[in-house]
Amino acid sequence: MYPSQGINLGPAQLQDIDGAIEAILAIARDMIREGRCAEGNFLIFPLFLAGYAASSTNLKNCVTQSLAVMAGFFVGHNIGIFRQTLLEIYQEQEGMKLISLSGLGVDWKEYMSKRNCRVINFAF
């Protein structure tokens, strides 16, 4: 998602986004349930974007919980950095909602850059 892409979305578009998020979460749940988290490195960035774009607290929590479970199967801290950055973005999004702005106005790329989060996710 590019900056401010989701600011002027209507209810139907938000439903489409939530449907896509549910599909990403379903894949993550299947991988977790089947014990295939170590194969899920391709899913980390889509989960991150799903969490960023999620409109409900429930979906956001599902994403961060999935990332927490999957983090236990990987060497390094990349997934933890993704998860922690998402939690911080969630706080900023909530602050924007309090002043009647869309949480999707948060530029996740700029947010990560300002915090010197240079996360590279390699998939082999």
61: helix, coil or strand?
helix
Contact indicator for 81, 88 with CB cutoff of 8 Å: no
> For 27-46, what is the mean pLDDT?
85
Map tokens 């209810």 to a residue: 11
Question: For position 124, what pLDDT does the model report?
Answer: 43
Task: Convert the pLDDT of each residue in 54-113 to its tens digit.
Answer: 888 999 999 999 999 888 777 666 788 888 888 988 888 887 766 655 556 677 777 777
Question: For position 28, what pLDDT does the model report?
Answer: 92
DSSP letter, residue 97: H
Question: For position 23, what pLDDT does the model report?
Answer: 96
Question: For position 36, what pLDDT does the model report?
Answer: 83
**CA–CA separation, 43 vs 59, rounded Å?**
16
Q: Note the Cα 112 to chain centre separation in Å.
A: 13
Q: Is the pLDDT of residue 34 over 60?
A: yes
Average pLDDT, the chain: 79
Confidence of residue 42 (pLDDT cuts 50, 70, 90): confident
Between 123 and 91, whose confidence is greater? 91
Question: For position 122, what pLDDT does the model report?
Answer: 47
